[in-house]
Amino acid sequence: MAGFMTTLLSMMSGYDGLEPHILAAFLILTGLGLRIEAAIADRKS
**Domain for residue 14, yes or no?**
no
Percent of all residues in the chain with a pLDDT value above 70, rounded to a whole number: 64
Judge whether 13 lies within some domain: no
Question: How does residue 25 score in pLDDT terms, banded at 50, 70 and 90?
Answer: confident
Question: Do 33 and 27 contact (CB within 8 A), yes or no?
Answer: no
- Whether the full predicted model's pTM is greater than 0.85, yes or no, is no
- Domain tally, the chain: 1
Q: Lowest-pLDDT range, 13-17, 26-30, 31-35?
A: 13-17
Q: Is residue 34 scored above 70 in pLDDT?
A: yes
pLDDT digits (tens, 9 = 90+) for 6-20: 777 776 666 666 667
Q: Domain for residue 1, yes or no?
A: no
Question: Do the Cβ atoms of 36 and 42 come closer than 8 Å?
Answer: no
